């Protein structure tokens, strides 16, 4: 895939894509989501799904759709002191409509700010509790000294639909690898325009790459209610999900953190920890916990799919998390590209991680007569010969290439290449699943 990826490398850098998506007001529903997906579809072929408000999805119900036209706090002389047009984080996400003059004290009950970071606007939501409110910097809040203000939120919260999109790439097998990234956050860059951009690059590369073993499904959906909706709408398909990754927060300077699937020792867990350990000692692997992003739903007890999560920073793990501080300055093209490379390596390793059967299992086969072994003995063997011996010895159908790589210390990529040689020599075959 590495080669195909290079061919299909877009001329437009990922940070440019993020720069276009940054100003859009997104939420778990609404036109901001549709506009975002429309831009992403310039990179890869996306199928959009609209699930009507009111649709039952497991224990939940698809909520009304939310769209904001305008929102501000103004002095009574009309001077707007807080304005949604400047920064969409200003409005409490899923806030109801209001148009009223209220006292400063009453207004204060509807304000959210960060005393410890007086320059940042917090990101707050109220999806399922009716409320209205404004998120402001601490300086803005402190500057509200008039006795009364006019507050206007011109928003619809009305039946509509929840929108998600899929990029599907058919492979040889019905078995799927699912990648899920959340698209519901408004103007926040690392969380999660970075995930959207990385997924776009991966989908583009996968689509350009023929003859894959697995089928791949990239899902762009809102957090929590999005994965719940997707899982509920795709119940029949879940049995075909062989591996999965929730991806997000992939643009900042932090080292990679892998959060294991609920099972803890699924193949995806082995593959990601192997790829990260080969790539850099500076990474962290943490156990599953039922709090974070959409891995919570994939890892609920009734679903329990082998889906891990790859991020750089984790949820709540950096100062600017869920605030306007999570802006374009904290992500970089280099980190985004590195994230694309790591996920690509993970998918390539999943692809190559077959179990083989030694077709000549009684004693070593005579490699020399097949031209696979040096003629003169007495010296130590070459790495390639060592890889052959390990593969032949361990290929009884119980060990995958990754198992052999970890046991032998031989690089996974050396084993895949030697496996091809041995298959061509008739000494190895893929183990029936």
Interface with a second copy includes 170 (CB under 8 A)?
no
Of residues 255-314, those binding a second copy (CB under 8 A): 262, 287, 289-291, 296-297, 299-304
Q: Which of 181, 232, 339, 416 binds a second copy (CB under 8 A)?
A: 232
Interface with a second copy includes 226 (CB under 8 A)?
no
Return the number of the residue (63 or 171) whose C-beta is nearest a second copy: 63
Burial of 419 (0-12, 13-18, 19+ CB in 10 A): buried
The DSSP letter of residue 253 is S
Of residues 105-164, those binding a second copy (CB under 8 A): 112, 122-129, 131
308 half-sphere exposure, CB direction, 13 A CA radius: 24
Where do the H-state alpha helices sit in 264-332?
A: 267-279, 295-298
Question: Which strand (E) or helix (H) includes residue 158?
Answer: strand 148-158
**From 150-158, 242-250, 266-274, 357-365, span contacting a second copy (CB under 8 A):** 357-365
Of residues 403-432, those binding a second copy (CB under 8 A): 407-408
Q: How many residues touch a second copy (CB under 8 A)?
A: 63
Interface with a second copy includes 386 (CB under 8 A)?
yes
Task: Output the smallest distance, CB 135 to a second copy, in A.
Answer: 9
Interface with a second copy includes 250 (CB under 8 A)?
no
**From 47-55, 170-178, 246-254, 370-378, span contacting a second copy (CB under 8 A):** 370-378
Q: Which residue in 370, 367, 238 sits closest to 306, CA to CA?
A: 238
The encoded tokens of residue 170 equal: 């058919």
Please name the residues in contact with 385: beta carbons below 8 A apart, sequence gap of 6 or more. Answer: 367, 372, 373, 374
Task: Output the smallest distance, CB 409 to a second copy, in A.
Answer: 10
Q: Which of 41, 233, 332, 360 binds a second copy (CB under 8 A)?
A: 360
Helix (H, G, I), strand (E, B) or coil at 168: strand
Interface with a second copy includes 394 (CB under 8 A)?
yes
Of residues 315-354, those binding a second copy (CB under 8 A): 316, 322
Query: What does each C-alpha distance from 406 to 189, 358, 411, 412 come to in angstroms?
Result: 36, 19, 8, 8
Interface with a second copy includes 366 (CB under 8 A)?
yes
Mutual angle of helices 194-207 and 14-21, in 10-degree steps: 130
- Contact in structure between 90 and 83 (CB atoms under 8 Å): yes
The residues binding a second copy (CB under 8 A) are: 57-60, 92-93, 112, 122-129, 131, 224, 227-228, 231-232, 262, 287, 289-291, 296-297, 299-304, 316, 322, 358, 360-366, 368-369, 375-381, 386, 389-390, 392-396, 407-408
């Amino acid at each position: 895939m590495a080669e195909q990826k290079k061919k299909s490398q877009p001329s437009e850098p990922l940070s440019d894509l993020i720069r276009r998506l940054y100003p859009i007001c997104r939420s778990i529903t609404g036109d901001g989501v549709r506009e975002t997906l429309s831009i992403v579809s310039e990179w890869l072929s996306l199928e959009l799904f609209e699930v009507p408000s009111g649709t039952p999805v497991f224990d939940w119900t698809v909520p009304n759709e939310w769209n904001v036209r305008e929102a501000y706090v103004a002095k009574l002389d009309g001077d707007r002191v807080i304005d949604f047009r400047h920064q969409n984080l200003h409005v409490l996400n899923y806030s109801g409509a209001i148009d009223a003059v209220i006292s400063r004290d009453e207004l204060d009950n509807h304000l959210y700010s960060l005393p410890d970071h007086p320059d940042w606007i917090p990101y707050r939501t109220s999806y399922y509790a009716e409320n209205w409110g404004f998120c402001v910097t601490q300086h803005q809040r402190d500057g509200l000294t008039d006795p009364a203000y006019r507050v206007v939120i011109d928003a619809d919260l009305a039946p509509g639909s929840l929108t998600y999109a899929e990029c599907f790439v058919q492979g040889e097998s019905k078995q799927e690898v699912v990648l899920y990234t959340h698209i519901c956050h408004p103007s926040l860059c690392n969380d999660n325009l970075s995930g959207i951009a990385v997924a776009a690059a991966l989908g583009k590369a996968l689509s350009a790459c023929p003859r894959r073993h697995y089928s791949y499904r990239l899902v762009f959906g809102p957090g929590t209610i999005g994965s719940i909706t997707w899982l509920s709408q795709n119940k029949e398909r879940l049995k075909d999900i062989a591996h999965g990754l929730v991806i997000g927060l992939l643009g900042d300077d932090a080292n990679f953190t892998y959060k294991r699937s609920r099972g803890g020792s699924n193949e995806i867990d082995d593959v990601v920890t192997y790829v990260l350990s080969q790539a850099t000692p500076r990474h962290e692997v943490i156990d599953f916990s039922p709090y974070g992003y959409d891995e919570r739903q994939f890892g609920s007890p009734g679903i329990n799919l082998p889906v891990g999560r790859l991020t750089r920073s984790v949820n709540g793990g950096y100062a600017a998390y869920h605030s306007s501080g999570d802006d374009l300055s904290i992500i970089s093209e280099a980190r985004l590209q590195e994230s694309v490379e790591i996920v690509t390596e993970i998918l390539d390793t999943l692809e190559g991680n077959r179990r083989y059967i030694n077709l000549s299992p009684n004693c070593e086969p005579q490699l020399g007569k097949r031209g696979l072994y040096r003629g003169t003995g007495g010296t130590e063997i070459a790495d390639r010969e060592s890889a052959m011996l390990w593969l032949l010895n361990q290929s009884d159908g119980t060990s995958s290439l990754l198992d052999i790589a970890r046991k032998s210390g031989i690089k996974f990529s050396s084993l895949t290449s030697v496996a091809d040689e041995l298959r061509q020599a008739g000494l190895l075959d893929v183990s029936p699943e």
